[in-house]
Every structure is written in structure tokens, then in C-alpha cells.
């Protein structure tokens, strides 16, 4: 967080880039939270403003004092992941927003500086997505790599989605498209945000040379996973896709789910969530252009998958 001794190419003599960090916690893993903050506070060549949102948990109950750079907020209600991130983003100060899970860590002291440097390579960059790695050596989940071919961590460059729990956003891009879809609560909020950014002309850059650490846990561990996975899949389509693509997208994902999910009760829950998504309001509809459909297809992820 502090400026190092002057070196060739260092930031001495220039204002450090300010990064607003949005970190949410439910207070149920204090050791992980401490490790996350320790790795964050160690970052060099950036100025940090850390907003820590207690999502249904009062940070005053934390068993150890927060560093001075941390500004705790308390939401008595659990706002969900995207809703809580929106609250934190509105409070965090900086031209960049770093969204950071409370069980993640940064493996070196220049992750954020590297992300900012990558962001500034192109004024159209909206997101810098790193490669997530499990700190214990477990394989990186496919869903963390925004490529259909994931060998070697995947090819760097423009992508159609990003690692939601650890990435850097440009504030102006984030605010232009309305931020996270707060009503989603949990699941697929990153797809919605990514599609809206790309439709607005922004670029999502995947930079696997920048690595971050996160436990490779299954999202199905959450009790609401199958319901939210299905409901929000429908909402993503209803909010963003041209009408002819909506049944194709949803039909493909229904078929994929039937092939993947072998647990009958889980499958039943998924289809109940699917019906819920069809019947309920998905929020503001902003139909992506057909040129965006073509762009997503060229990037390797046509919006029917």
C-alpha cells in the first residue's frame, strides 16, 4: 500500500492509483478474512480504500481489530452477493473497483498494481480478470477460465466472462451499465454484467499471467444453488437476449443440466427454479444488439451456450 524505494519505472513522483476494494463477509470465517486482508494490505504501488460489508453480520463482532484502511459497513439484512457488492461499490473510493471474496488471497504484493497496469493498456478495458488457482494445488475449476479450451490456464485476451469473486473493474464502465443485477442474489450475476459491458462497447480482458488464490469449492455446497442457478439463468436471457435467442439459450441449458445433474432431487429443484424464472420479473430488459451477438460468437462463446 505504501510507495517503495525509487526504482527504474517506479511510481515515484506520480500519484498512486486509487483502488476501491469491495469485500463482503458474513462473519463465518474470521481466519480466512484475516488472511485476505493481510494479503490486500501488503499490496504496493496503489492507494487502497477498503469497504468491508458485513452482509447480515455486524463487523463490530469481529474478534480482532480491522486495519486502519478498512471501513466496515453493516447491513442487518443479507443483501446477497450482487446486492452487497453494489452497496460496497457505491461507498468505495477510487477510479478502479477491486471485488474480493473473503476467502481469497493475493499471492504476491503487486497483483493490484499489475491489474491496474493491464487496465490502462486500453481505455476500453472494463475488467481485468486474473487466473484463479486453489492455494492447496487442486485443479482450477473450468468455470473460472473464460475459455472453452482451458489447457494451460487458457488463452489471454478479450473474453466473454470473468472470475466474479476476484477481479478489477473500471468504475466508469461499471457505473455506465448499472452495476451488478442486485435482484439475482446469487448466481449468474457475472454473466449479466459481462454481457452488458460488451454490449456497451467495453472489453473484458483475461490475463492469466496474473494469478490469485481461491479455494476450489463447489458452488453446489450452497443450499440455494440449484434454484438460483436455474431462475437466474432464465433472468439473464429475459434481460439481455434478442427474443429469437431466448428459447435457444434456455433449451440448451436445460438439456446440459439434464445431462450433468444426476441427483433427481437436485434436478427437480433446478426445474422449479426454471419455472420461477419464467414466471417472475427479471428486472430491466436491455436487449443486446445483433452485433454484440456476433462479437460474443467471435470471442468463442455465442449467447446460446
Contact predicate 54/74, CB 8 Å: yes
Taking the mean position of all CA atoms in its chain, how far away is CA 252? 24
Cα–Cα distance, 265 to 209 (Å, whole number): 40
**Residues 150-202 pLDDT 10s:** 999 999 999 999 999 999 999 999 999 999 999 999 999 999 999 999 999 99
**Residues 83-115 pLDDT 10s:** 999 999 999 999 999 999 999 999 999 999 999
pLDDT for position 7: 42
pLDDT for position 12: 57
pLDDT for position 304: 94
Q: Say if residue 48's pLDDT is above 70.
A: yes
Q: What is the mean pLDDT of the chain?
A: 94
Would you tell me how many other CB atoms lie within 10 Å of the CB of residue 34?
16
DSSP helix/strand/coil, 237 = helix
pLDDT classification of 5: cutoffs 50, 70, 90: very low
Q: CA 293, 299, 300, 305 torsion: positive or negative? A: negative
Task: For residues 226-254, give the mean pLDDT.
Answer: 97
Q: Say if residue 8's pLDDT is above 80.
A: no
**Residues 288-304 pLDDT 10s:** 999 999 999 999 999 99
Q: Could you tell me the three cell numbers for 133?
A: 488457482
Contact predicate 55/84, CB 8 Å: yes
Q: Say if residue 120's pLDDT is above 90.
A: yes
Amino acid at each position: 500500500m505504501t510507495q517503495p524505494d525509487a526504482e527504474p519505472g517506479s511510481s515515484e513522483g506520480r500519484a498512486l492509483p486509487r483502488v476501491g476494494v469491495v469485500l463482503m463477509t458474513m462473519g463465518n470465517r474470521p481466519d480466512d478474512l484475516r488472511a485476505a486482508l493481510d494479503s490486500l494490505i501488503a499490496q504496493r504501488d496503489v492507494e487502497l480504500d477498503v469497504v468491508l460489508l458485513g452482509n447480515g453480520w455486524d463487523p463490530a463482532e469481529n474478534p480482532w481489530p480491522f486495519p486502519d484502511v478498512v471501513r466496515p459497513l453493516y447491513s442487518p439484512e443479507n443483501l446477497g452477493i450482487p446486492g452487497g457488492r453494489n452497496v460496497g461499490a457505491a461507498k468505495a473510493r477510487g477510479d478502479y473497483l477491486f471485488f474480493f471474496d473473503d476467502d481469497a488471497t493475493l499471492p504476491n504484493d503487486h497483483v493490484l498494481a499489475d491489474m491496474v497496469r493491464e487496465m490502462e493498456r486500453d481505455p476500453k478495458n472494463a475488467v481485468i480478470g486474473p487466473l484463479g488457482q486453489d492455494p492447496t494445488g487442486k485443479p482450477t475449476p473450468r468455470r473460472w477460465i473464460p475459455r472453452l479450451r482451458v489447457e494451460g490456464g487458457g488463452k489471454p485476451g478479450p473474453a466473454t466472462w470473468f472470475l466474479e469473486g476476484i477481479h478489477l473493474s473500471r468504475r466508469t464502465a461499471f457505473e455506465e451499465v448499472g452495476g451488478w443485477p442486485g435482484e439475482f442474489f446469487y448466481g449468474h450475476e457475472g454473466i449479466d454484467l459481462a454481457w452488458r459491458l460488451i454490449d456497451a462497447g467495453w472489453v473484458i480482458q483475461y490475463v492469466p499471467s496474473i494469478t490469485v488464490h481461491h479455494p476450489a469449492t463447489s458452488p453446489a455446497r450452497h443450499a440455494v444453488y440449484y434454484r438460483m442457478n436455474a431462475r437466474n439463468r432464465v433472468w439473464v436471457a429475459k434481460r439481455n437476449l434478442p427474443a429469437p435467442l431466448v428459447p435457444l439459450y434456455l433449451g440448451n441449458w436445460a438439456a446440459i443440466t439434464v445431462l450433468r445433474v444426476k441427483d433427481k432431487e437436485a434436478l427437480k429443484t433446478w426445474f422449479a427454479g426454471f419455472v420461477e424464472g419464467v414466471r417472475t420479473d427479471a428486472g430491466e430488459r436491455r436487449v443486446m444488439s445483433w452485433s454484440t451477438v456476433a462479437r460474443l460468437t467471435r470471442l468463442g462463446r455465442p449467447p446460446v451456450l
